[in-house]
Structure 1
Amino acid sequence: MARMDDGAVKFDPLKLSIIVAAHNEERYISRCLEAIEQAVEGIEHEVIVICDRCTDRTTQEARRFPVIVIEKDQALWRNSYAENLEIGLKQAHGEFIAVVDSDIRVEKSYFRKVLAAFDNDIVSVSGKVETERSTLFNRIYSLWEKTYDTIGAGREPRGGNRIYRGDILRKVRFSDTIAPDTDVDLRMGGRKIYLREAISYHMRELSFGKCIRGQIKSGRARRQLRIPIWRTILHSLVRLRPFVAIGYIAEYYVKRTEQIGRHGS
Structure 2
Amino acid sequence: MLAITPTVRNLLILNILFYLVDSSIMNLSEDFALRSLLSPHFHIFQFVTYMFLHGSLGHLFSNMFGLFMFGPLLERMWGQKRFLFFYFFTGIGAGLLFSGIDYFENSQVHQAVEIFTQNPTPDGLAEFMSKHAKGIYESSLDFLNKFEGNPTNTSYIQDSVNFVNAYYERLINTPMVGASGAIFGILMAFGLLFPNTELFLLFVPFPIKAKYFVAFYGLYELYSGIQNAQSDNVAHFAHIGGMLFAYILLRYWGTQKTNFY
Higher Cα radius of gyration: 2
Structure with the bigger percentage of helix: 2
Greater RCO structure (CA 8 Å; 6+ sep):
2
- Say yes or no: TM over 0.5: no
Shorter chain as denominator, the TM-score bin is under 0.3
Q: TM-score, normalised by structure 2?
A: 0.25
TM-score, with length taken from structure 1: 0.24
